[in-house]
Amino acid sequence: MTRGCVTYSIVFIAGILSVHLCSPSFPITATLLAILLALAYTTRKRALMFLTISHIALFVAGVQSGTLSKGKENLPPDKLSSSIQAKSGTIKLKCVEFIGKITDTPENKVILCALTIGEKGDMEREFRESWSKAGAMHLLALSGLHVGIIYAISDSLLSILGIFPIGGVLRWGISILILLGYMVISGCSPSVVRACTMIFIYKLSQRKFRDTGKWDAIAIAALITGVLAPWQVTSIGFQLSYAAVAGIAALYPVCRMAFVMCAEKWGTTNGAAYGVFLKIWECISISICCQIATLPLLIIYFGGYAQHFLLTNLVAIPLVTGILYLFVMLVSTHWLPYASDFLTWAINVALTLLHSWINFISG
């Protein structure tokens, strides 16, 4: 797998976005695309010419997809997603009922429903305003953060399968199936679908290609979304999601390496304190990287950003991670009386701390 897929994805998505500037007719783009494909085939042995023509062809294909989407001609994936969303409603109601039984306050129920299944129907306006003011609203919207945590939890719990000859394949396969199930339960929200696609592509390519990388996974996931659901490319969620992921991919390794190099220079790489401070720095780095990458979009669409986002996420992200871990453990062991009671108590304590911290930051 080469970095060519990154440029292919960029030009295809650029073609979709260009439809908002000019909207050529479908026959024109179809004819031009056929000509370009024929030229690409005839020049396949001339590397530079082939790459140039193939990129132009992908741009035109993006224009064609964008034109179809702009014309409100829904593609089959949209209908499938709508069908899954309708059928997931029953599952969501059962999940909300279960969450209502284990939470001790309405606020904790609202937070846990939003964090786990993306259900925000009972969220009041004052609640939304306080979380938005603190820069924590993204934590309540199912995103790559939640999907990544769910995958990490399932992958960790299934690590015991490594003792079997094909344990690695089983571990990977079951983790992916768990992600697919979570995607269905969440109603196939665009952000969850994007995150699941990226994880699936990255893990699959790791097993098939030696030189695969994070940029390949990001690009292919974006390309698949553009092909199957071109109308999503113009959404704010799509742009913020991929901007945040790209920011983490580009800046986070630099931030983490800077901390490690400073620790090695000062001779403090040993001991438990180093691991604790490294985790804290990782949380800070992820927040900074996301904010830097999404800042232009936030200014364009919303005219600004939450000033206290860094302080909020420093405490909120570890708490959210812990809550999701505890919730998965509770679902897995809810039939054990003492274990379920303790986990229920711990979840409510963590939820109360999270909500209190957000209220404190929002003033």
Residue stretches of the chain with pLDDT short of 70: 1-4, 70-87, 190, 206-212, 269, 304-306
Q: What amino acid is encoded at 93 in this protein? A: L
Q: What is the pTM of this model?
A: 0.75
Co-location of 37 and 100 in the same domain: no
Q: Is residue 238 part of a domain?
A: no
Residues 11, 347: Cα–Cα separation, whole Å: 46
Final residue in a domain of this structure, among 174, 199, 231: 231
> How many other CB atoms sit within 10 Å of the CB of residue 115?
23
222 alpha carbon, distance to own chain's centre: 12
The separation between the first and the last C-alpha atoms of the chain, rounded to the nearest angstrom, is 50
How high is the pLDDT of residue 349?
95
How high is the pLDDT of residue 207?
65
Final residue in a domain of this structure, among 231, 262, 293: 231
C-alpha angle 334/335/341, rounded to 5°? 55
Contacts of 247 (CB under 8 A, 6+ apart): 289, 290, 292, 293, 294
How high is the pLDDT of residue 1?
47
How high is the pLDDT of residue 7?
86
| Cα–Cα separations (whole angstroms), residue 49 to 34, 62, 350 | 17, 20, 59
Co-location of 58 and 103 in the same domain: no
Co-location of 69 and 80 in the same domain: no
Q: Is residue 56 part of a domain?
A: yes
Co-location of 42 and 130 in the same domain: no
Q: What does the pLDDT look like over 212-251, one tens digit per residue?
A: 677 877 888 888 888 877 877 877 778 888 888 888 888 8
Residues 5, 223: Cα–Cα separation, whole Å: 9
Domain with 146, as residue range(s), is 74-231
Co-location of 118 and 43 in the same domain: no
Contact (CB, 8 A) for 83 and 34: no
User: b/e map of 318-356 (b: 16 or more CB within 10 Å)?
Assistant: ebbbbbbbbbbbbeeeeeeeeebeebbebbbebbbebbe
Q: Is residue 325 part of a domain?
A: no
Q: Is residue 264 part of a domain?
A: no
Co-location of 29 and 98 in the same domain: no
Co-location of 104 and 7 in the same domain: no
Q: What does the pLDDT look like over 57-102, one tens digit per residue?
A: 888 888 888 877 765 444 445 555 556 666 677 778 888 888 999 9
- 10 Å CB burial of residue 72 (0-12, 13-18, 19+) is exposed
How high is the pLDDT of residue 244?
82
Co-location of 103 and 66 in the same domain: no
Q: Is residue 50 part of a domain?
A: yes
Q: Is residue 57 part of a domain?
A: yes
Number of domains present in the structure of the chain: 2
How high is the pLDDT of residue 178?
86
Q: For residue 134, give the 3-state DSSP assignment.
A: coil
How high is the pLDDT of residue 73?
43
Q: Is residue 17 part of a domain?
A: yes
Contact (CB, 8 A) for 224 and 197: yes
Contact (CB, 8 A) for 249 and 214: yes
Handedness of CA 167, 171, 172, 177 (dihedral sign): positive
Residues 160, 182: Cα–Cα separation, whole Å: 22
Co-location of 163 and 211 in the same domain: yes
How high is the pLDDT of residue 86?
65
Query: Which residue is associated with the tokens 């132009």?
Result: 56
Residues 97, 231: Cα–Cα separation, whole Å: 34
Co-location of 46 and 106 in the same domain: no
Final residue in a domain of this structure, among 199, 231, 263: 231
Contact (CB, 8 A) for 179 and 201: no
Tokens of 138: 């993204």
- 10 Å CB burial of residue 111 (0-12, 13-18, 19+) is buried
Contact (CB, 8 A) for 190 and 230: no
C-alpha angle 210/215/218, rounded to 5°? 115
Cα dihedral: 252, 233, 15, 17 (round 10): -100
Tokens of 168: 């690695």
Tokens of 294: 């999404």
Specify the DSSP element, H or E, that contains 67: helix 47-70
Q: Is residue 134 part of a domain?
A: yes
Residues 259, 280: Cα–Cα separation, whole Å: 11
Co-location of 66 and 151 in the same domain: no
Residues 198, 127: Cα–Cα separation, whole Å: 32
Co-location of 111 and 7 in the same domain: no
Q: What amino acid is encoded at 205 in this protein? A: S
Handedness of CA 343, 347, 350, 356 (dihedral sign): negative
